[in-house]
Amino acid sequence: MFEILEKQQLAAGTVRMRIFSPLAARRAEAGQFVILRAEEGGERIPLTISDFDRAKGTVDVIYQVAGATTMALDAKEQGETLPDVVGPLGVPTDTEGVRRALVVGGGVGCAIALPVAKKLRAKGADVTSVIGFRSREQIILEEQFRGLGRLFVVTDDGSYGEKGNVCAPLSRILTQGERFDAVYAIGPLVMMKFVAEATRQYKIRTVASMNPIMIDGTGMCGCCRVRVGGEMKFACVDGPDFDAHAIDFDEAIARNRAYLDFESRARERACNLLKKGDV
């Protein structure tokens, strides 16, 4: 069993959980994830390691309450335990040789972007971060990013920082002639697609952290497949980081939308059955 040592609400519907998992903490690196279950017999879900402490044997995960499994996870309180925490899984983010980096995070994707920015800064890189959210109420980890270097904050509705999306400050920075050894994009698929398009003309190495549907985390199920440079890759074992300029984002977006549509129809059918008293 894996004890929940801390639980903190970062924003509406977004929660940080610190879990005692010495084996995962011992080998964890920025960009990797764990797969956990909230309860026995429950669904296995992948969550990125947002922080870790090898000495204390802890890993942090940040999740957004969006469905039945994250609701079950959120029902857990400090002092309770989880039946499974498996990891670390995935390939750590490659920061070798990067002296100037631009890290772009969107929404809860900032939980993945932060450890990447921290790793870069720890290795002596100059880090510029751009983080975007729907509104002021959804902002997370601002102070942590601010402590690592220059920071731009944008919100869709303009309630905090600059109004717009992450591509506005990104394009402005690049247009002004600033150059970076690498750009790291972590967030919604559409956001990462447009970040890749913005950096393509400048031939800046751009890395996207992919978060497709994932089940087993070992490459066996094939659900997390991503087409990169015309080849099929699996995000759980080949990634989650890939060359953003080689990813077929349109295919990834279509697959994700198909899953969301199926999930929506399944929920609607379940609600109708409940109303009829058939279940």
Mean pLDDT of 186-194: 92
- Strand arrangement of the beta sheet that strand 206-209 belongs to: 162-163, 150-155, 126-133, 100-106, 182-186, 206-209, 241-243
Pair of tokens at residue 144: 């942590």
Q: How many CB atoms lie within 10 A of CB 201?
A: 8
C-alpha closest to that of 224 among 46, 32, 38: 46
Give yes or no for residue 252 having a pLDDT over 60.
Answer: yes
pLDDT of residue 274: 45
Higher pLDDT, residue 20 or 257: 20
Q: What is the DSSP string of 153-175?
A: EEETTSSSSEES-THHHHHHHHH
> What pLDDT, in 10s, does the model give residues 68-104?
888 888 898 999 999 989 889 989 999 999 999 999 9
Where do the domains of the chain lie, and which CATH numbers do they carry?
2-89 (2.40.30.10), 100-209 (3.40.50.80)
Helix 167-175 vs helix 189-200: angle between axes, to the nearest 10 degrees?
10
In this structure, what token pair is assigned to residue 23? 């084996």
Cβ–Cβ under 8 Å, residues 60 and 267: no
- What is the SS3 assignment for 52? strand
Q: What is the pLDDT at residue 270?
A: 42
Q: How confident is the model at residue 267 (pLDDT cuts 50, 70, 90)?
A: very low
Which is it for strands 162-163 and 150-155: parallel, antiparallel or unpaired? parallel
User: Order of strands, edge to edge, in the sheet holding 81-82?
Assistant: 81-82, 2-11, 14-20, 58-64, 45-53, 33-37, 84-89
- H helices of 30-109, in order, are 68-74
- Are 103 and 120 spatial neighbours (Cβ–Cβ below 8 Å)? yes
CB atoms within 10 A of CB 76: 16
- pLDDT exceeds 80 at position 37: yes
pTM: 0.86
Q: What is the pLDDT of residue 266?
A: 43
Statement: residue 125 has pLDDT above 70: yes
pLDDT tens digit sequence for 93-102 = 999 999 999 9
Which among 194, 149, 142, 140 is positioned nearest to 171, based on CA atoms? 194
